[in-house]
C-alpha cells in the first residue's frame, strides 16, 4: 500500500505509531480522532457496536482518497479533492467479532480503517457511537461475504461504499453455505436473528450451494428465513443469485450452470421469485440484472467481473465485479424505496 504524508489540521500532530485508547476509557463520551491514525491506517480500540465515522479529506496538494476497513470492506470510494481544499464524508460501520465471515477468525478487536487511493490525504477523522443507525443484514454465501483475501471479493463487501451515515451493512454471509447449512449452524442464523431490530433490512441470497436441495425443502427454508426476519420486526428482501459466467454457443447465459438450476432440476431464481410473490416480500432480481450485464459485455469483457483470468473461476467475483454488482443492489434498493435517496452514494 502506498505511504503518504498525512495532511493534518494545524492543531493536530501525529505520533509515529498508533495511539490505542483503551476501550474502557472511551465510553462514547468524546469523539475519537486523528491521534489514532498513522501512515495509511487508523485503529480505534472500541467495543463491538455500530459507529459513525466522519472523515475530512484533502491537503495542500491535489488528493484522491478511499477508505476501507475491517475485513477488506470498502467504506468510501475514491474521492478527489483539489489542492488546498477539504471535503467531509460520513459513513456508518458495523464492528463485531468475528469481523469478517461469521465462521472465520475473530480478526482484530476494535475498528480498523485503511486509507488508499492514488494520492491519499486525511485532514481529520471523528468516530462516535451511532445513535440511530439502521442495519442492512446480509444472509448469503461466498459471492456476498466479506472475503478475507485477494483476489476474491463479495458484493456485500463493496455495498458499504454506496451508503452514507445512518445505514450500516452487517454482512453475515459465509462461504460455502446453503439454505440448509445457514439455518442449521448456530454461528449463522441463530446468531443473526436475535440482532435484527424493527425496521432493519435483511437481504437473503442463498442458492449457489443448494446443489442437492430439493424444491420443497428449498422453498420451506426461504419461507423460514422470511418468517424469522418478520418475527423480529425486520423487513426481509429476497435476492436471486448472481449468475455464473458460463456462455452458451449463441453468446447467452441459457444453460443450467449459469442460471443456477441444480442437478435435481430446481430453478433457484424461479423459486425465489415465487416465494417473494407468495409472501409479499420485496425482490431484488440480481440473476436477471447480472445476466443482462454479463451478456452485454460478452465473453471477453465479462472476464474482468469474475476471477477467470486469475483462477479460471466463473462463479466468484473480482473487486471490480463485486463493486459493479453492489451497485446493482444499491440501484434496486432505491427503486424499491427500501432506502432513502439522501443516504445513498452514486460512486
Distance from C-alpha of 212 to C-alpha of 266, rounded to nearest angstrom: 9
295 belongs to a structural domain: yes
Looking at the structure, tell me whether residues 234 and 330 fall in a common domain.
Answer: yes
**Which cell numbers hold the place of 124?**
481529520
Looking at the structure, tell me whether residues 56 and 116 fall in a common domain.
Answer: yes
State the residue range of the domain holding 329: 134-343
pLDDT at 139: 98
Residue 6 has pLDDT above 60, yes or no: no
157 three-class SS = helix
Distance from C-alpha of 38 to C-alpha of 13, rounded to nearest angstrom: 10
334 belongs to a structural domain: yes
11 belongs to a structural domain: no
Which run of H or of E encompasses 219? helix 215-231
241 belongs to a structural domain: yes
Domain termination site, one of 129, 163, 198: 129
273-331 pLDDT, tens digit per residue, is 999 999 999 999 999 999 999 999 999 999 999 999 999 999 999 999 999 999 999 99
173 belongs to a structural domain: yes
Beta bridge partners of 94: 50
Distance from C-alpha of 109 to C-alpha of 99, rounded to nearest angstrom: 8
Distance from C-alpha of 208 to C-alpha of 241, rounded to nearest angstrom: 7
* Confidence bin at 39 (pLDDT 50/70/90): confident
Q: CATH no. for residue 305?
A: 3.40.50.1110
Domain termination site, one of 76, 105, 129: 129
**Sign of the four-CA dihedral 138, 141, 147, 153:** negative
Looking at the structure, tell me whether residues 117 and 163 fall in a common domain.
Answer: no
Q: Are strands 41-44 and 37-38 parallel, antiparallel or unpaired?
A: antiparallel
Looking at the structure, tell me whether residues 151 and 276 fall in a common domain.
Answer: yes
Give the list of residues 6+ apart from residue 313 with CB closer than 8 angstroms, or none. Answer: 306, 307
Looking at the structure, tell me whether residues 173 and 250 fall in a common domain.
Answer: yes
Looking at the structure, tell me whether residues 109 and 162 fall in a common domain.
Answer: no
275 belongs to a structural domain: yes
Q: What is the DSSP letter of 110?
A: S
Looking at the structure, tell me whether residues 121 and 149 fall in a common domain.
Answer: no
Residue 10 has pLDDT above 70, yes or no: no
Looking at the structure, tell me whether residues 316 and 207 fall in a common domain.
Answer: yes
Looking at the structure, tell me whether residues 152 and 290 fall in a common domain.
Answer: yes
What's the Cα-to-Cα distance from 157 to each of 17, 177, 236, 259, 304, rounded to whole Å? 28, 17, 19, 23, 17
Residue 34 has pLDDT above 80, yes or no: yes
Looking at the structure, tell me whether residues 184 and 305 fall in a common domain.
Answer: yes
Length of the chain as a residue count: 347
132-186 pLDDT, tens digit per residue, is 899 999 999 999 999 999 999 999 999 999 999 999 999 999 999 999 999 999 9
Question: What phi and psi, each to the nearest 5 degrees, are found at residue 302?
Answer: -70, -15
Looking at the structure, tell me whether residues 200 and 266 fall in a common domain.
Answer: yes
Number of Cβ atoms within 10 Å of the Cβ of 309: 11
117 belongs to a structural domain: yes
Looking at the structure, tell me whether residues 46 and 118 fall in a common domain.
Answer: yes
Distance from C-alpha of 42 to C-alpha of 32, rounded to nearest angstrom: 11
105-134 pLDDT, tens digit per residue, is 999 999 999 999 999 999 999 999 999 899
Which run of H or of E encompasses 60? none
pLDDT at 228: 98
Which run of H or of E encompasses 107? none
Q: CATH no. for residue 108?
A: 2.60.120.260
Domain termination site, one of 65, 94, 129: 129
Number of domains observed in the structure of the chain: 2
pLDDT at 27: 53
Whole-model pTM over 0.75: yes
Amino acid at each position: 500500500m502506498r505511504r503518504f504524508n498525512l495532511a493534518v489540521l494545524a492543531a493536530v500532530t501525529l505520533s509515529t505509531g498508533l495511539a490505542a485508547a483503551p476501550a474502557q476509557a472511551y465510553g462514547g463520551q468524546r469523539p475519537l480522532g486523528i491521534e489514532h491514525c498513522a501512515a495509511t491506517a487508523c485503529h480505534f480500540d472500541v467495543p463491538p457496536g455500530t459507529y459513525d465515522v466522519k472523515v475530512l479529506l484533502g491537503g495542500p496538494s491535489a488528493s484522491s482518497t478511499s477508505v476501507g476497513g475491517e475485513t477488506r470492506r470498502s467504506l468510501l470510494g475514491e474521492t478527489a479533492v483539489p489542492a488546498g481544499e477539504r471535503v467531509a464524508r460520513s459513513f456508518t460501520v458495523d464492528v463485531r467479532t468475528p469481523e469478517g465471515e461469521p465462521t472465520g477468525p475473530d480478526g482484530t478487536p476494535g475498528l480498523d480503517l485503511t486509507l488508499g487511493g492514488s494520492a491519499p490525504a486525511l485532514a481529520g477523522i471523528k468516530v462516535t457511537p451511532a445513535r440511530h443507525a439502521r442495519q442492512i443484514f446480509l444472509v448469503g454465501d461466498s459471492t456476498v461475504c466479506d472475503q478475507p483475501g485477494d483476489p476474491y471479493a463479495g458484493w456485500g463487501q463493496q455495498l458499504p461504499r454506496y451508503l452514507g451515515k445512518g445505514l450500516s451493512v452487517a454482512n453475515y454471509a459465509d462461504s460455502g453455505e446453503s439454505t440448509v447449512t445457514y439455518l442449521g449452524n448456530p454461528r449463522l442464523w441463530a446468531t443473526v436473528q436475535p440482532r435484527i431490530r424493527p425496521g432493519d433490512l435483511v437481504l437473503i441470497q442463498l442458492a449457489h450451494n443448494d446443489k442437492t436441495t430439493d424444491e420443497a425443502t428449498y422453498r420451506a427454508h426461504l419461507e423460514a428465513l422470511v418468517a424469522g426476519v418478520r418475527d423480529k420486526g425486520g423487513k426481509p428482501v429476497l435476492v436471486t443469485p448472481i449468475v455464473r459466467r458460463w456462455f452458451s454457443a449463441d453468446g447467452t447465459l441459457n444453460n443450467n450452470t449459469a442460471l443456477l438450476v441444480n442437478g435435481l432440476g430446481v430453478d433457484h431464481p424461479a423459486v425465489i421469485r415465487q416465494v417473494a410473490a407468495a409472501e409479499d416480500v420485496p425482490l431484488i432480481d440480481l440473476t436477471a440484472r447480472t445476466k443482462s450485464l454479463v451478456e452485454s459485455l460478452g465473453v471477453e469483457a465479462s472476464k474482468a467481473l469474475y476471477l477467470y483470468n486469475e483462477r479460471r473461476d466463473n462463479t466468484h467475483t473480482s473487486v471490480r465485479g463485486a463493486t459493479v454488482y453492489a451497485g446493482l443492489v444499491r440501484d434496486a434498493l432505491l427503486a424499491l424505496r427500501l432506502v432513502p435517496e439522501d443516504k445513498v452514494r452514486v460512486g
